[in-house]
Amino acid sequence: MILRLDTDAWPWRWLEASGIDQTLDIELEASSSAPSAARVALERFKGLIPDRRLFHLQLVVSELVTNSVVHGPGGPIHVSVDVAPYGRVRGEVSDDGDGKIAIREINDPREGGHGLRIVDSIVDRWGVYDGSTHVWFELV
In a domain, 132, yes or no: yes
Instruction: Quote the pLDDT of residue 31.
Output: 97
In a domain, 72, yes or no: yes
In a domain, 125, yes or no: yes
In a domain, 129, yes or no: yes
Residue span of the structural domain in which 29 resides: 12-139
Query: What are the residue ranges in the chain where pLDDT is below 70?
Result: 1-21, 102-104, 106-113
- 6, burial (CB in 10 Å: exposed 0-12, middle 13-18, buried 19+): exposed
Taking phi over 0 as left and psi of -120 to 50 as alpha, with beta for the rest, 130 belongs to beta
Instruction: Quote the pLDDT of residue 120.
Output: 94
- Each residue's pLDDT tens digit, 66-101: 999 999 999 999 999 999 877 899 999 999 988 777
In a domain, 22, yes or no: yes
What is the model's pTM? Answer: 0.81
Instruction: Quote the pLDDT of residue 20.
Output: 47
As for how many domains the chain has, the answer is 1
